Amino acid sequence: MISTRPYAEVLARLRRAGLRPTRQRLALAKLLFESGDRHVTAEALHGEAEAAAIRVSLATVYNTLHQFTHAGLLREVVVDAGRSYFDTNISDHHHFFYEASGRLQDVPSAEVKVADLPAPPAGTEVARVEVVIRLRDRAS
Amino acid sequence: MISTRPYAEVLARLRRAGLRPTRQRLALAKLLFESGDRHVTAEALHGEAEAAAIRVSLATVYNTLHQFTHAGLLREVVVDAGRSYFDTNISDHHHFFYEASGRLQDVPSAEVKVADLPAPPAGTEVARVEVVIRLRDRAS
DNA sequence: AATCTCCTTGGAATAATTCTAAACTGTTGA
DNA sequence: TCAACAGTTTAGAATTATTCCAAGGAGATT
């Protein structure tokens, strides 16, 4: 039964990433990774934690999101000035961005073909190619 | 002679965009549009203006960048959390982003092929497709 | 030149994020 | 089991980028 060991899975995930499994990290990891692919901001995750009666400071939420990102558990996506989104889907994929609502949505990499990329300038290498499809409400 | 009417060109550009050609807008437009394709932040442009002995407040730089963007003279590019870049190249193209230095560089749209875009969700239309090639320094 | 509207300004306000120093806790080794 | 260390968390201050505001200034039109 999963419910008898509710933290086993996220605990293993943290250990694999070499992160000390503290209460806060376990709780945040649970929120992040146990409900499918998500795109959260620090504020939003902090709000969820509060709603779930988990006491975590906003600073810790920021720390944790960045640590998870460095550990490869999350991906940071920048689409909106002055707001960072963290994506629990770390596989190769792209995004729809709803400009009106600020919502992000995954687009499987299979549904977009990016070809003929120019060679990276000397001394650099490609860290990632991001495709953002910005959507606006259709007038009509 | 161009030098006898140094503002004629930017003045015409502002008029075409329906923007009242004030001293500040003229000066900023000159900085922006008379040296090829550029990617500036508000702070950077404000610094340039100061260096050129043009007295403009930072608030006006922000106002102007947004007005130019709405008028189609600039394009806003978001690649870096908490920092907006304004691109004087408004033609269809993409970007290299040097993560180490925060520099942006144009990539002609002809050099990247994006195909098989998924259809935009119902009620929306594609405002723009942005491809950002994130570069890191090559370790070696 | 009068007038109207739009623009610019400095400074305060806001928002997102980072910093800091002190208190706390998971882990390790005895 | 417990001491002790290193890594973690915290509240609140600090920082950064940007926006807001109210008042004065300046293009445009007559």
User: What's the rounded Cα separation, in Å, for the pair A76 and B83?
Assistant: 15
B1 contact A CB<8A: no
pLDDT at A49: 98
For residue B5, what is the enclosing H or E element? none
- SS3 call for A42: helix
What is the model's pLDDT at position A139? 78
Q: Any atom of strand D under 7 A from CB of A105?
A: no
**Inter-chain residue contact A131 with B126, CB threshold 8 Å:** no
Rounded to whole angstroms, the Cα distance separating B113 from A114 reads 6
Q: Looking at the predicted structure, is the pLDDT value of residue B85 above 70?
A: yes
The dihedrals phi and psi of A63, each to the nearest 5 degrees, come to -55, -50
Do A115 and B115 lie within an 8 Å CB cutoff? yes
Task: Say how far apart CA B72 and CA B16 lie, in whole Å.
Answer: 11
A 77-116 near B (Cβ less than 8 A): 78-84, 96, 98-99, 105, 107, 111-116
* Nearest of A113, A92, A105, A114 to residue A133 by alpha carbon: A105
Residue pointed to by tokens 């009620």: B123
Contact across the interface for A79 and B78, Cβ inside 8 Å:
yes
End-to-end CA distance of chain B: 51
Task: Find the Å distance, CA of residue A56 to C1' of nucleotide C20.
Answer: 18
For residue range B21-46, list pLDDT tens digits in order. 999 999 999 999 999 999 999 999 99
A103-108, strands of its sheet edge to edge: A103-108, A93-98, A124-137, B124-137, B93-98, B103-108
pLDDT recorded at residue A94: 97
- pLDDT confidence tier of residue B49, bands split at 50, 70 and 90: very high
Tell me the pLDDT band of B133, cut-offs 50, 70 and 90: very high
- Rounded to whole angstroms, the Cα distance separating B139 from B132 reads 21
Question: In which residue ranges of chain A is pLDDT below 50?
Answer: 1-4
Residue A2's Cβ-count burial label (10 Å; 0-12, 13-18, 19+) is exposed
- Angle, in degrees to the nearest 10, between helices B8-16 and B23-33: 110
